[in-house]
Amino acid sequence: MFDLERFIDDCRTAVDGDPTHKPIQDIVARAVSEPGQLLQALGDPTKGEVQKLYCSDTLTIINVVWAPRMTIMPHNHNMWAVIGVYGGREDNIFWRRIKDDPTGRIEAAGAKSLGRGESTPLGPDIIHSVTNPTAKLTGAIHVYGGDFFEEERSEWETEDLTEQAYDVEKNLRLFEDANSFVKPG
């Protein structure tokens, strides 16, 4: 059975011993390898949300539930991350800065789709956008190597892909707004 408190303790201990994503990658992979147990421990998602499970200066653990067909614009974290999906699908498009562009514009550079039971690390310099391509809720554990909610970082406007300051509150509201499309039951 998945034990959330033990998962948090394992992540804290791992980061104390090695501040890179490497030990966290194994911990998250183990957690999502039994997605049913993880789902049972966290509860059946009923809406899109970002649920803070643990947060410190060196580590943030959140349960992200993506509403159906929800998309978050390109953004960076300025810290490593490990993402593990326990239900549904999370499609990531990876972006890179256009060399010498004065507005900080980006261009697509690759993609990775994560399904139930899959995980992947993201380096501290990664820029990505995320879409739930399914018609149902998608659940994922996201672990970050720092304070996800306080780190200064960037997001990119979706039409012209120009860089701007990341707005945590605006992005959290996107989850609330996306819930208007979630069908009850």
What CATH number should be reported for the domain holding residue 106? 2.60.120.10
Q: What sign results for the dihedral spanned by CA atoms 162, 137, 90, 76? A: positive
Tokens matching residue 92: 């990531």
Could you give the CA distance from residue 180 to residue 10 in angstroms, rounded to a whole number?
Answer: 36
Contact 178, 135 (CB under 8 A): no
Could you give the CA distance from residue 154 to residue 151 in angstroms, rounded to a whole number?
Answer: 10
183 — pLDDT class (breaks 50, 70, 90): low
Residue 122 reports pLDDT greater than 90:
yes
The boundaries of the domain holding residue 41 are: 4-181
Q: In the predicted model, what is the mean pLDDT of residues 87-94? A: 97
Contact 148, 59 (CB under 8 A): no
How many structural domains is the chain composed of? 1
pLDDT, the chain, mean: 93
Residue 167 reports pLDDT greater than 70:
yes
Tokens matching residue 121: 């690390």
In the prediction, which pLDDT does 176 show?
79
